[in-house]
Amino acid sequence: MLASRHIGEKPKKNVNKMYLDWILSILTIAMNIMLGKKIKWGWIIMFILSLLWIYYALSLNPPQYGLLPAIIANLIISVPSAIKWFKEDKANQ
């Protein structure tokens, strides 16, 4: 029972986070398309999106700690791949 709410009062929605999951999902799809087309910005967007996903997971009420292992695993796997890809691209120029 929530003592701070009155009977019949609707819970307030946080408008800032209301569509964040959709926005992050759409940007994640765009990032994957960019990486598939070997567009360098895909890696930068991937890193920024990972940080935003962490923010999103921790800002929910209750925090969604279950998302963190997937986000961290994605970073651990992707960062060495990005470094290798940038080195190969630099060598080919």
Which phi and psi angles does 11 have, rounded to 5°? -65, 145
Distances in Å between the Cα of 32 and the Cα atoms of 2, 24, 26 are: 42, 12, 10
User: Would you say residue 2 has pLDDT above 50?
Assistant: no
Whole-number average pLDDT of the chain? 85
Alpha-carbon distance of 18 to 5, in angstroms, equals 20
Alpha-carbon distance of 24 to 72, in angstroms, equals 16
Q: pLDDT at position 19, please?
A: 86
Q: What's the start-to-end Cα distance of the chain, in Å?
A: 64
Q: pLDDT at position 4, please?
A: 54
- Contact criterion met (CB below 8 Å) for 71 and 54: yes
User: Would you say residue 71 has pLDDT above 90?
Assistant: yes
The one-letter code for the residue type at 23 is I
Listed by start position, the domains of the chain span 15-92
Quick one: average pLDDT of 30-54?
Answer: 92
